A and B are shown apart, each in its own frame.
Chain A
Amino acid sequence: QKEVEQNSGPLSVPEGAIASLNCTYSDRGSQSFFWYRQYSGKSPELIMFIYSNGDKEDGRFTAQLNKASQYVSLLIRDSQPSDSATYLCAVMLGGTASKLTFGTGTRLQVTL
């Protein structure tokens, strides 16, 4: 089992809809969770991070963490074509201070 897993997609949503991206992780001791956006040919860009259980909202983006079920989600409201990118989930696994383990990413396509 991979330590951080994401569905590779593509996930296709119409413009204006909510895109829901999911990430599961294997280590119950994981402390911190991060979402990055990566456009083709570019480097990953940090969108948001979450340390505790519950939701965190930043503009159109919401991160949801469920520690009991060991998954973290990213919701993108009012999806725009400019949101089309690969979204990487990263987890600071227990006992790996400051190191992040990345999933392989989910490709999101927002269609007109």
Chain B
Amino acid sequence: DVKVTQSSRYLVKRTGEKVFLECVQDMDHENMFWYRQDPGLGLRLIYFSYDVKMKEKGDIPEGYSVSREKKERFSLILESASTNQTSMYLCASSPGTGNSEQYFGPGTRLTVT
């Protein structure tokens, strides 16, 4: 079974702090994704990566950056957390090369106060 893990289930940070969210997948997937999910807005893509050290902006990249130094690990960074970044953050991975089904991690509920 595909396993995608995220570093924290719940996180509380203060405004202005730098926040790191980590995601690890164990299936040698090519693609990894970061989403945020908010009530009424659904899943919105923040960033994705097709390969190590490669990254592409999604629909809402402002205020976020990412890092993929190893194939299995994809990190989301909030450079200076703000209250409007309070959300559920979901990481996903997909095999790539024609197989685009995505598998999600358990999510991190981030609260910025």
Question: Hey, which bits of chain A sit against chain B, CB under 8 A?
Answer: 32, 34, 36, 42-46, 49, 88, 90, 92, 97-100, 102-105
A104-B42 in contact (CB<8A): yes
Contact of B90 among A32, A44, A100 (CB under 8 A): A44
Let me know if B25 is at the binding interface, CB within 8 A: no
Assess the A98–B42 pair: CB atoms within 8 A: no
Verify B96–A98 contact, CB threshold 8 A: yes
Pick from B42, B45, B90, B106 the residue with the most CB of A within 10 Å.
B42
B residues bordering A, Cβ < 8 Å? 31, 40-43, 45, 48, 50, 58, 90, 94, 96, 100-107
Q: For residue B30, which residue of chain A has the nearest CB? A: A98
Known pairs A98-B100, A100-B102; A43 contacts B43 (CB<8 A): no
Q: Which 4 A-B pairs have the closest CB atoms?
A: A104-B42, A43-B104, A102-B43, A43-B107
Which of B31, B43, B101, B103 meets A88, CB within 8 Å? B43
Contact flag A92-B100 (CB < 8 Å), given A44-B90, A102-B42, A104-B40: yes
Distance in Å: Cβ of A51 to nearest Cβ of chain B: 9
Chain B residues near A32: list those with CB within 8 A: 100-101
How far apart are B111's CB and chain A's nearest CB, in angstroms? Answer: 14
* A34, A42, A97, A105: the one within 8 Å of B42 (CB): A105
